[in-house]
Amino acid sequence: MVVATKAIVFSAIKYSEADLIVSCYTEIAGVKSYLLRNILKSRKGKLKASYFLPLTQLELIADHKNKGTLEYIKEAKINNPYQTLHTDIVKSGLVLFLSEMLKNCIREEETNQELYTFLENALHWLDQNDAVANFHIYFLLQLSMYLGFYPDASNIEQKYFNISEGNFQARNTNSYCLEGERIANFKSFFDIKIQAIKDIKLTKKQRHDVLELILNYYSFHMQGYQKPKSLAVLNQLFS
């Protein structure tokens, strides 16, 4: 079935000498993987390898057979061209990290319009703004809402955060209850708009500690979670 859909690139892996296997999150069908034949050698084809950089937003004409095999892209063009996302060194590091997280966490081949819109808008904001040091923490916290395990913040004033239960509580009830400065800083990311993340003032170590906390939270609640390999690159950028 030939479809027209918007899509966000999660990854592109070289296959044989001239082919790419591309994983995309599509607006109409969730995660899809495509085989792009001879794209690394052909200069005259409709498809260019530069279209498939991580988190690029595309408009696709694709052939979806929906048989669990690799699909095919007939046409592609860039939708919402980025100005800084692939040229700014800090944002490029964030792109590598976030694309790896998204590929690990989103696997469903089904429509989720709210999630797609969130990703589209968040990436546009990242491209258009400069104060992005806290973006990945805010992004991952918001993403957990669409993945179904956003923390219960009804008792956010309490001292402890239980990463296994995903809630704030008054007492330390097990070894997964955390307290202290990192929990206070974590609380700063709740109930704010994305424009306000620049007002959260964290040292590099504090930011690292909050990121480690939310990644541990993901490891508890995301089946098949894998620690992102690009985390080391991200930590170097913010160290």
CATH number reported for the structural domain that contains residue 56 in this entry: 2.40.50.140
Question: 69 and 142 in one domain?
Answer: no
Where a domain ends, among 78, 113, 138?
A: 78
Do residues 73 and 42 share a domain? Answer: yes
Determine, yes or no, domain membership for 56.
yes
The answer to whether residue 110 is domain-embedded is yes
Q: Last residue of some domain: 29, 58, 78?
A: 78
- Looking at the structure, tell me whether residues 102 and 218 fall in a common domain: yes
Q: How many CB atoms lie within 10 A of CB 171?
A: 9
Distance (Å, rounded) from C-alpha 230 to C-alpha 32?
A: 22
Domain count, the chain: 2
Q: Would residue 22 count as lying in a domain?
A: yes
pLDDT of residue 43: 73
Domain of residue 105, CATH code: 1.20.1440.120
Q: Is residue 83 part of a domain?
A: no
Q: What are phi and psi of 195, to 5 degrees?
A: -65, -20
Residue 100 lies in a domain: yes
Q: Which of 78, 100, 125 is the last residue of a domain?
A: 78
pLDDT of 28? 96
Q: Are residues 30 and 106 in the same domain?
A: no
What pLDDT score does 239 carry? Answer: 58
Give the residue numbers spanning the domain of 203.
Answer: 89-237
Give the pLDDT of residue 67: 87
Residue 194 lies inside a defined structural domain of this protein: yes
Going residue by residue through the chain (239 aa), what tens digit of pLDDT does each one get?
999 999 999 999 999 889 999 999 999 999 999 999 999 987 777 899 999 999 999 999 999 998 888 999 999 999 989 999 999 999 999 999 999 999 999 999 999 999 999 999 999 999 999 999 999 999 999 999 999 999 999 999 999 999 999 999 999 999 999 999 999 999 999 999 999 999 999 999 999 999 999 999 999 999 989 989 999 888 877 75
- Rounded to 5 degrees, φ, ψ at 75 are -145, 150
In a domain, 41, yes or no: yes
Residues 159 and 232 reside in one and the same domain: yes
pLDDT at 232: 87
Which pLDDT belongs to residue 236? 79
Q: Are residues 112 and 171 in the same domain?
A: yes
For residues 153 and 101, is the Cβ–Cβ distance under 8 A?
Answer: no
